[in-house]
Amino acid sequence: MAGEYFSPADGKDFSVSNDVETVHRDRDHLQERWAEKERWTGQRFAEAARSRGERRRRIEDEITVAHLDLVDTLAARIVGASREIRDARQVGCVGLVKAVRRFEPDRGVPFVPFAVPTIGGEIKRHLRDNGWFVRPPRSVQELRAEALRATVELGQCIGREPTMAELAGHLDRSITDVVQALAADSSLRPTSLDAPITSDDATPFGQTIPVVDDSFERVDLALTLRSVLSTLDPRDQRVVELRFVQHRTQREIAHEIGVTQMQVSRILSRILETLRDRLGDLRPPTVGAA
């Protein structure tokens, strides 16, 4: 991921090193740069709101260029190291432009949490409509998405990965339907690792797949998540800290914030749904719900 944050007009360089060791040595500095970029973005949107015509379009273009790294991150997270990456980036750029034009700063949500589901949605729609070798019916694709969400929600409640029977019962569908929907992954268009990269380059595709160190990706994801968490109300932020940082049980959290254990379960489900809506491609870990 290039990580180039640059404003053509202000000459402000938000570059972030790709060197993983440097990132780990200086996370505080990286967080400061992230906050600085967020402030800069807010200022540019405020100026765009006061502008019209060509000047507004120029400011929106600057914001778009400054966030192209976000497109790269999401494209890589969704399609990985595959031949789809170039198309995913192009489609993601369309989503970024839409996000910039639709963003409303006065709603109090930072731009990145707003933009992520828009960009990710564009990429996923492109894959859904163009990326299936044998495309399943829309109903199967939708059931697969529901089953994946339900796997996380049930895992959160019961403290383990649910069985197919439990998943089917939760969705009120037959086990056969759920199994077939989850198997839709295999309908994605396959690419042989022995296939040449292009007609002009006989290098096998498999040799071009790098061994990826995702340390920088985890830092980037953590910073994005922090930005989204800042939009939650104080009690929800406290619940997230107790559950996922201090690893408290739901019973302990209930005692801490003065509600019932059932209410804690509902609060956690609502928070996770909010994070899924705003981050789109972030899949929270399954943890015990003792």
> Which has the closest alpha carbon to 120: 83, 144, 88, 153?
88
Tell whether 149 is covered by a domain: no
User: For residue 94, what are the domain limits?
Assistant: 6-130
> Which has the closest alpha carbon to 94: 62, 58, 64?
64
Q: How confident is the model at residue 73 (pLDDT cuts 50, 70, 90)?
A: confident
Task: Output the CA angle 163-165-166, nearest 5 degrees.
Answer: 65
Place of tokens 């273009």: 61
Which of 78, 108, 130 terminates a domain? The answer is: 130
pLDDT in tens, 213-240: 444 444 455 556 666 677 788 898 888 8
Reply yes or no on whether the pLDDT at 211 is more than 60. Answer: no
Which of 130, 156, 175 terminates a domain? The answer is: 130
Tell whether 203 is covered by a domain: no
Tell whether 167 is covered by a domain: no
Whole-structure pTM value: 0.46
Tell whether 173 is covered by a domain: no
CA dist 23 and 15 (Å) reads 12
Number of domains in the chain: 2
Which of residues 108 and 5 earns the better pLDDT score? 108
Place of tokens 């002009």: 200
Which of 130, 164, 194 terminates a domain? The answer is: 130
Cβ atoms within 10 Å, residue 118: 19
pLDDT in tens, 255-279: 999 999 888 888 888 887 777 676 6
CATH code at position 236: 1.10.10
At residue 279, the pLDDT reads 61
Tell whether 178 is covered by a domain: no
- Whole-number percent of the chain with pLDDT over 90: 6
CATH code at position 28: 1.10.1740.10
> Which has the closest alpha carbon to 64: 118, 137, 16, 27?
118
> Which has the closest alpha carbon to 224: 118, 74, 4?
74
Reply yes or no on whether the pLDDT at 8 is more than 60. Answer: no
Tell whether 259 is covered by a domain: yes
CA dist 30 and 37 (Å) reads 11
pLDDT in tens, 25-45: 556 666 777 788 888 999 999
